[in-house]
Amino acid sequence: MIDTDKARKHGMDAFCTTDPVKVDHSAYFKNLQTLTLDHRLNDMFASLGWFSPGQIFVLDEPDGIGTVILAEKEKFDEVKERLRHLLEYQKPTSENHNGQPMRKIEDILHLAELCIDLLQQNDECYEEVLNDYLIHNPYMAGGTFHQQLKNMFAPLVVRYVDLMESSIAQSIHKASKKKHGKRMNSYAECLNIQSHGCAASEELIWKLDALQTFISNLHWPDEVVAKHFEQRLKLMAADMIESCVKRTLEAYEAWMQRSRTSTDFIIPSEICVMINVVLHFKSESLKLCAVAGVDRHQYHTKIDEFIERISSEMIRSFVEKFSSILVSCILSKLARYDEGSLLAPIFSFAQASTSGNVSGDLGRQYVNCLRSSMEQIRQRVIDELFILAMFEKLYTSQINLICTWLTERMDRTLHPYQVNCLSHLVKKTFAEFELQGIPEDVLNHKKFQTVQERMRLEEATAAVSDAGNKSSAGSRTMTSVFAKAKKLALS
């Protein structure tokens, strides 16, 4: 009821019941645009530098496309035609005044061109054009008017940069904010896959680049203030990138810790996106933190070293995940068959009594787990050098663990089940990483050669033992047959 009274008081009833055909929509639209721009200019938190979705809808100026109503076009044509007539009237008298009218005509034409350029740049600050004109005018550059213009807009530019810094920081915080409930909406779950990372990271890079481009295009006349703006924006970019990369690593490690430690594990796409986010920041850091490719303030060097450490941490966490799977799901289970173990006879009997050929099942499960995750990384991660570095460390870690496990059993003969599983695992692991492009010197390093020699020895021992068992079984069978024949002959 209260809302109805307010609407009636402000004339909304009459407005809603008006026949649309009899209304001057152009006038209403012009009024709506004017009110929107007034709100944008007077409210310091209206959009923090960018059009809000509602403002874009009202102003209808996406991607620099300007809207011109019919009345404005008619007015422009009228002024254009009047200017043309004035120029035609001035032209015949140019020869009688020592060329002065012709000079005036050229000035007017130049002014008209500037006006057209100004109208076309509706997505830029009009003051930028005026400042450029003053800078290139030898009589007005640094003059009283130029100084007044600079002093008038300096606080506005500083305030604009402050607001943009606050806006970008809030967007990073919003993306990383966790919402409580049944489903925790963390930073990682806010990552929508894009070509080089996620929507949040690409938006951040775009905002930082757009802000630096805008300030640079102002061509600030005071060199000291211009360098201050430049340094502040480069430092802001470095700080924002560092903050975003830190949060990405935290989300990455949280995903790794929450995921299952089993041979069913496959690297989720969110992990690949987070890797791409860090790699994308690394590729863009030179442009955002250096000046024309020169690291004048050393911000790029620092952020590049920081991102390298984060990348190494991501690789380390990835390798540790598969190392824990290898140890807990494969090697610890194979240890049950160790010679001299109390449970070894039970597991050996259970394995022997299982129907079908199950030798090497554990090895196959782990190789399939490894292959699926490597294919996921290969398809989704954008940096080939990062992929190779990750796979090299993963391969080295796996071989080192197997070598250590075998060294601990140097004085024991491996159970045939252990031999089959490890033999399959080592051969297939070597083949998988070879297909991924790992260099030959990494594949055939000393630890692998040690493992390979040990497995050859164990395979030969298992083959001899198996042949001996079959021969013994054959002898026992023949003895039983002769005994039965002798018993029948006596009877």
**pLDDT over 90 percentage in the chain:** 25
The pLDDT score that the predictor gives to residue 194 is 47
The pLDDT score that the predictor gives to residue 451 is 93
The pLDDT score that the predictor gives to residue 453 is 92
Which residue type occupies 54?
Answer: G
Cβ-proximal residues to 230 (8 Å cutoff; 6+ apart), any chain: 215, 216, 291
For 177-263, where are the alpha helices, taking DSSP H only? 199-217, 223-258
Confidence band of 386 (pLDDT split at 50, 70, 90): very high
The pLDDT score that the predictor gives to residue 190 is 45
Confidence band of 441 (pLDDT split at 50, 70, 90): very high
Which of 64-73, 169-178, 339-348 is predicted least confidently? 339-348
- Rounded (5°) CA angle 299-301-305: 120
The pLDDT score that the predictor gives to residue 183 is 37
The pLDDT score that the predictor gives to residue 131 is 74
Which of 239-243, 359-363, 368-372 is predicted least confidently? 359-363
Q: Please tell me whether residue 70 adopts helix, strand or coil conformation.
A: helix
The pLDDT score that the predictor gives to residue 42 is 74
Average pLDDT over residues 316-344: 84
Average pLDDT over residues 376-402: 93
For 121-222, where are the alpha helices, taking DSSP H only? 126-135, 144-176, 199-217
CB 393 within 8 Å of CB 324: no
Find which of 81-90, 147-156, 170-179 is predicted with most confidence, using mean pLDDT.
147-156
Distance CA 86, CA 245 (A): 63
Which of 157-161, 227-231, 289-293, 361-365 is predicted least confidently? 289-293
Q: Answer yes or no: pTM beyond 0.85.
A: no
The pLDDT score that the predictor gives to residue 444 is 93
Query: Within its chain, how far is the Cα of 270 from the centroid?
Result: 10
Find which of 190-194, 276-280, 344-348, 355-359 is predicted with most confidence, using mean pLDDT.
276-280
